[in-house]
Amino acid sequence: MTKNEGEFIELMGGQLGIWYAQQLAPENRSFFLAEYIEIHGPVDHALLLRAAELRIRETETVRLRLKTVDGTPVQYLHDAADYPVQAVDLSGERDPRAAARAWMDADLRTPAELDGGALHNAAIITLDEELHYWYIRVHHLVFDGQSGVVAAARGAEIYAALLEGRDPAEGALAPFSVLHEDDRAYRTSAQYEQDRLYWLDRLAGHPALDGGDAYKSRRAQHAPLRHTDGIDTDAADSLKHGARRLRTSFPGLMIAAAALYQHRVSGEQEITVGLPVRARGDRHTLTVPGMTSNILPLRLSIGPRTTVEDLVRQTSHAVREGMKHQRYRYRDMLGDLKITDGDLCGLHINVMAFDYDLRFGTCPTVTHNLSTGPVDNLRIDIYDRGGMQINIDANPDAHDLDAAAALSRHYLNVATWLAHAEPTALAAHADLLDEGERGRVLVEWNDTAAERVPGSLVDLFEA
């Protein structure tokens, strides 16, 4: 070991899944997560840089590096001095926003070095005196969505402390060892075995066990294609009102809509959608950045007589019961079922019903996601921010942007129908098509009228 290397420790369960997935797709750059916080106003540039540097020093997980020892991946904590924050000034560019996006996109294409390389990069990008981007890129091996929420909030706290002359060490994040020890304890606990048995029972007889083509794995070798859409505040409020009317939450409604969409496009009555979850042991671990996120396979049944009320209740129950067993790894579920080249979920749905709502001093912010990880088939990411933003990420080896756009459009149609449907309405009657598409199907494609040619059949031959 060099003087910058700390003690070698094993990878956590969630990290192992990401490590194996990256080995199968070494050229896939989307294993990096990335976002930027757009800061408006007269922020103190020097303090912002200092806050970014202090956050790196404090957030141990972003300084983790990997080595492979005797065929087994291990990790160690690296020296914070080797993680400088880049100061990028693009204020002189003709179009600073476009230049900043091009810079971030280029950085996001950086290859992952899983043998001793840095897994994190950060930059403060200046577009003009009153517009800055705080950009981060970090490998999914050491970071997840919950980590992003915690780190963003902590960055704003550190900046505020520096601005007000307070000690920025107050409220420091707990060390990575807290999360690591909690994961190790779980994997040797009685709860681990209870969770394993729960999922074995819940997934017994799943159609994927028959090895049908619909459940074959499509391991993504490239970054996903992304289609971005959205609806305004009024439309988003209408969906939320519909959720309350159906006695469910906004995420519950959107998850049910994803299952219903899958039923409508596939015709299958057995539907399984993937739901990303934090997979943390308690509230204390929620504030420790690191990679623990997992996938819950929500198994639902939607038949000809299933009502809207049935679907919503079934979805709520599946989520509620699954969350009690959320720490058992999805990869281990597949192993227990002896599925070596398949998947349980064709469609994944992630509803982020929160907003960072960060301020740097008096300066408001807007957060933009650039990458949420690899996608082997299709994923819907919903952000409840000033209306509703929807990102459709699609495996480019199986889908194109037109398919992603169609999914977005049809999914929103189904969600809107569900929000306004009577509880007793049949779920199978959900509207998939919009007015334009319905007109083409029912009118244009059925416009088979043809000019009648006078005369008999004999006359036509003699002519």
How confident is the model at residue 433, as a pLDDT? 79
Domains delineated in the chain = 9-179 (3.30.559.10), 207-444 (3.30.559.30)
Closest by alpha carbon to 11, among 65, 63, 80, 55? 65
DSSP H helices, 304-350, are 308-323, 330-336
pTM given for the model: 0.90
Instruction: Name the amino acid, one letter, at 79.
Output: D
How confident is the model at residue 439, as a pLDDT? 57
Which portions of the chain are predicted below pLDDT 50? 1-4
pLDDT (tens digit, 9 = 90+) per residue, 132-183? 999 999 999 999 999 999 999 999 999 999 999 999 999 999 999 999 999 9
How confident is the model at residue 266, as a pLDDT? 93
What count of other Cβ atoms lies within 10 Å of the Cβ of residue 66? 23
- CA pseudo-torsion sign 402, 254, 432, 245: negative
pLDDT (tens digit, 9 = 90+) per residue, 405-456? 999 999 999 999 999 999 999 999 999 977 666 655 555 656 666 566 566 6
How confident is the model at residue 355, as a pLDDT? 65
How confident is the model at residue 4, as a pLDDT? 45
Per 3-state DSSP, the chain is made up of helix, strand and coil in percentages (nearest 5) of 45, 20, 35
The CA-based dihedral angle spanning residues 438, 443, 445, 449, taken in that order and rounded to the nearest 10 degrees: 170
Quote the distance between the C-alpha of residue 120 and its chain's center: 19
Three-state secondary structure call for residue 78: coil
Closest by alpha carbon to 333, among 241, 170, 418, 209? 209
How confident is the model at residue 2, as a pLDDT? 38
